[in-house]
Amino acid sequence: MALLQITEPGKAQDPHSKKIAIGIDLGTTNSIVAGIREGEPFALPDETGRYLLPSVVSYRQNSVVVGHEAFDLANLDPANTIISIKRLMGRALGDPVIAESNLPYKFIKRSETVPRIETSFGTVTPTEVSSEIIRKLLERSFETFEKEADGAVITVPAYFDDSQRQATKDAATLCGLQVLRLINEPTAAALAYGLDSGNEGLVAIYDLGGGTFDISLLRMEKGVFQVLATAGDAALGGDDFDAVICQWFLDSVGWEKGLTAVENRGLVLEARKAKEDLTNVETTQIIFRLEETNYRAKLTRSVLRDLLKPFLDKTLNICRKVFRDASADLDDIDNVVLVGGSTKSLIIRETVSEFFGKKSLDHIDPEKVVAIGAAIQADLLVGNKGDSEVLLLDVLPLSLGLEMMGGLAEKIIPRNTPIPANQTKEFTTHKDGQTSMKIHVVQGERDMVSDCRSLAEFELKGIPPMVAGAARVRVSFQVDADGLLSVSARELTAGIEAGVEVKPSYGLTDSEITEMLTSSFEMAEEDAILRMISEARLEAARVMEALAVALKEDAEMLDVGEVSLLEEGMRKLGELVKKGDHKAINEGIDLLSKASEEFAALRMDKAINKALAGQKINDIEQEI
């Protein structure tokens, strides 16, 4: 994986040494990549000047086609042309989104968990399909900046659960792309608007895309974007509108036979076009050929309004819920921001502004705004902006919990908790002599485990036999800044420990990813080794530079012996880097990291003390 280079903080940077940091909005219908040039964010066009990349991947016998060309194949070869893959990300094969949809793909039944689609190119998973889209966007970035991107911020719907987030991150990893951070789409949009117009106060972000709906409430002040609450529906969007228009068409023309997958795909595309037309005109016509006959039906804006109403009402109910979660009132809102392709529709804009009683902000293209916000955040994270005040504070979208006796879900971290977050809870055995305990991690708001999303299951073994209720098992949840969870469990009387990174059963295992990486790059062995050496060297340089900066600032925290020990370690690592054996370099890195751990802890403690002491000084100033 490519690693970031370090520059000393505060030092003016040579403009040519700025790192290439990009933002990627991986959408259900379209994807887009944005970057920064001379401090200005912009969406990157393809060679013909188009910004949107249709999120469509078509698998041919010997090649993979992505984007516009693939879109054109969607009708001709639906079984090998994957659209709206985002809807399948991180989902199990048995999930209703897959099981109950009339998708034209050939799913392989072999695995119960990860959906695998058989194409003329071979078997592919949703993660791999998404990675093809990312790879295409990376080509754009390379064309524009004439070098590889150093890192990316990738956006996900705020309401994505852990497995959907993990699957998205895996898709980027498959392209060898360094993911700086996953951020939520509405948060990214807020960042783009906040910095663009200096808006402060309480902002509602209404984000309706092709397949997902999110509503987030944020407080913006002094450069801090704090998400107060978020809610949504990970399976509600423009695709549903298309489907309901299709059904309306079939009812109108009296077609009762049902459609083949090919016909269905064709009609969906016609429906989408009609839906878009009705933003500019009052009436449009859908003409569709079925069994050698042209059927036609007139669709008016008012009919469409009725068709969309149940969906829009659902979004408004979710909006009410988010206000309740944030203990805020509709009147408190200072601004409403529209995000997502579906909000280009006139009917939806009218509905939203009526609900909020406010005209919404939309002067940044709703299709570009998320990628632009992501690019701004990426630029900040790699340090191109120097000491910026801007900070995003986000929350956990869905409660995390554990399965208890009787199939009940016990919430451990409730939704809308600020992240990073952790929580521990103690449990006990319910049978005499019980020596193991099943830990089943779930996500969702419902009381029953069967209604929640199952994230991971593992077993804590080796509990010493005791009477029921005597063992004490402490389960810890940790959610990082990407919103990803890891769980560990520990029996306190015997000290047995077990832990998992929550790699959901719907995701891919690390070895599967490694395997795909090797096969997808079709990398010769020599290339692979060269790559590993260069990665090890970069990592070594990063570690040494961080330590050198630390020693320069805080060497007086250590005694002379300790300092020379660290310096010796750096010297040795420097020699290993020259020799170029990646295994030896990695061992050297581990040694140096271990040796400097204590020093890092001391420095952190000092930083904390300084930060807390700083508060006192401010107080005195305030009192004066």
Partner 1 sequence: MDFGRNFFEIFNLPAAYSLDRELLRSRYMSLQKEFHPDRHILSSDTEKRLAMQFITEINSGYETLSDNLQRAIYLLELNGNKVEENPKLDNEVLLKQIEFREDLETLENRSESRKSLGSFRTEIEAQIENIQIALEQAFLADRFGVARQLVYEQQFFFKLERSLERIEENSAGI
Catalytic residue positions? 25, 86, 185, 207
- Residues 286-325 touching partner 1, rule: CB under 8 A, are 314, 317-318, 320-321, 324
Confirm or reject binding of residue 134 to partner 1 (CB under 8 A): no
Q: According to the binding rule CB under 8 A, does residue 385 interact with partner 1?
A: no
Q: How far is the CB of 366 from partner 1 (least distance, A)?
A: 25
Judged by beta carbon, residue 55 or residue 596, the one nearer partner 1 is 596
Nearest to 505 by CA among 461, 453, 439, 450: 453
Single residue of 269, 393, 513, 517 touching partner 1 by CB under 8 A:
393
327 binds partner 1 (CB under 8 A): no
Q: How far is the CB of 422 from partner 1 (least distance, A)?
A: 5
CB of 424 to partner 1, least distance (A): 11
- Helix-, strand-, coil-residue percentages of the chain, each rounded to 5: 45, 25, 30
**Nearest-angstrom CA–CA distance, 22 and 14:** 19
389 binds partner 1 (CB under 8 A): yes
330 binds partner 1 per the rule CB under 8 A: no
Q: From its phi and psi, is residue 469 left (phi > 0), alpha (psi between -120 and 50) or beta?
A: left
Closest distance between partner 1 and the C-beta of residue 206, in Å?
A: 16
The residue count for binding partner 1 (CB under 8 A) is 50
Provide the 8-state DSSP code for 4.
Answer: -
Chain-centre distance for alpha carbon 371: 12
Least distance between partner 1 and beta carbon 82 (Å):
32
Q: Does residue 478 bind partner 1 (CB under 8 A)? A: yes
Q: Does 578 bind partner 1 (CB under 8 A)?
A: no
- One DSSP character per residue, 151-211 reads EEEEEE-TT--HHHHHHHHHHHHHTT--EEEEEEHHHHHHHHHHHHH---EEEEEEEE-SS
Residue 422 in the binding site for partner 1 (CB under 8 A): yes
| CB-nearer residue toward partner 1: 148 or 597 | 597
Output the CA angle 563-569-572, nearest 5 degrees: 140
Could you give the CA distance from residue 89 to residue 174 in angstroms, rounded to a whole number?
14
586 binding partner 1? (CB under 8 A): no
**Contacts for 609-617 with beta carbons within 8 Å, 24 or more apart?**
none
> 11, 16, 109, 222: which one contacts partner 1 (CB under 8 A)?
222
By CB under 8 A, tell whether 596 contacts partner 1. Answer: yes
Smallest gap from Cβ 220 to partner 1, in A, equals: 12
Q: Does 421 bind partner 1 (CB under 8 A)?
A: yes
Please, are residues 171 and 517 in contact by the beta-carbon 8 Å criterion?
Answer: no
Report the alpha-carbon distance of residue 395 to residue 417 in Å, rounded: 5
> CB under 8 Å to 243, separation ≥6 — which residues?
268, 271
For position 374 contacting partner 1 by CB under 8 A, the verdict is no
Closer residue to partner 1 in complex, CB, 99/607: 607
Binder among 196, 480, 512, 587 for partner 1 (CB under 8 A): 480
The residue from 418, 433, 574, 580 that contacts partner 1 (CB under 8 A) is 418
Nearer to partner 1, 46 or 207 (CB): 207
Asked if 474 touches partner 1 (CB under 8 A), the answer is: no
Long-range contacts at 54-58 (CB < 8 A, ≥ 24 apart): 54/29, 54/30, 54/83, 55/26, 55/27, 55/28, 55/29, 55/30, 55/31, 55/83, 55/84, 55/85, 55/86, 55/133, 56/81, 56/82, 56/83, 57/81, 57/82, 57/85, 57/129, 57/132, 57/133, 58/82
**Minimum distance, C-beta of residue 601 to partner 1, in the bound complex (Å):** 6
* Binding to partner 1 in span 4-33, by CB under 8 A: 4, 6, 9
Dig out the tokens for 31 from the structure: 């994807």
Binding to partner 1 by residue 381, rule CB under 8 A?
yes
Stretch that binds partner 1, among 86-94, 451-459, 496-504, 601-609 (CB under 8 A): 601-609
Give whichever of 246 and 547 is closer to partner 1, judged by the CB atom.
547
597 makes contact with partner 1 (CB under 8 A): yes
Question: For every residue of 267-334, which 3-state class applies, written as one string?
Answer: HHHHHHHHHHHCCCCCEEEEEEEECCEEEEEEEEHHHHHHHHHHHHHHHHHHHHHHHHHCCCCHHHCC
From 1-9, 44-52, 508-516, 575-583, span contacting partner 1 (CB under 8 A): 1-9
Give which of 489, 430, 379 is closest to 42, Cα–Cα.
379
Is residue 537 a contact residue for partner 1 (CB under 8 A)? no
Kindly report the three-state secondary structure assignment for every residue of 570-603. Answer: HHHHHHHHHHCCHHHHHHHHHHHHHHCHHHHHHH
Binding mask 161-190 for partner 1 (x = CB under 8 A): -------------------xx---------
d(CA 20, CA 152): 9
Part in contact with partner 1 (CB under 8 A); list of ranges 2-10, 115-123, 133-141, 297-305: 2-10
224 binds partner 1 (CB under 8 A): yes
Q: Which is nearer to partner 1, 277 or 480 (CB)?
A: 480
Beta strands in 21-161 (DSSP E): 21-26, 30-37, 40-43, 53-54, 56-59, 64-66, 81-83, 106-108, 116-119, 122-124, 151-156
- Minimum separation from the CB atom of position 359 to partner 1 (A): 26
Binding site for partner 1 (CB under 8 A): 4, 6, 9, 180-181, 222, 224, 314, 317-318, 320-321, 324, 380-383, 389, 391-393, 417-423, 478, 480-481, 543, 546-547, 550, 593, 596-597, 600-601, 603-604, 607-608, 611-612, 614-616, 619
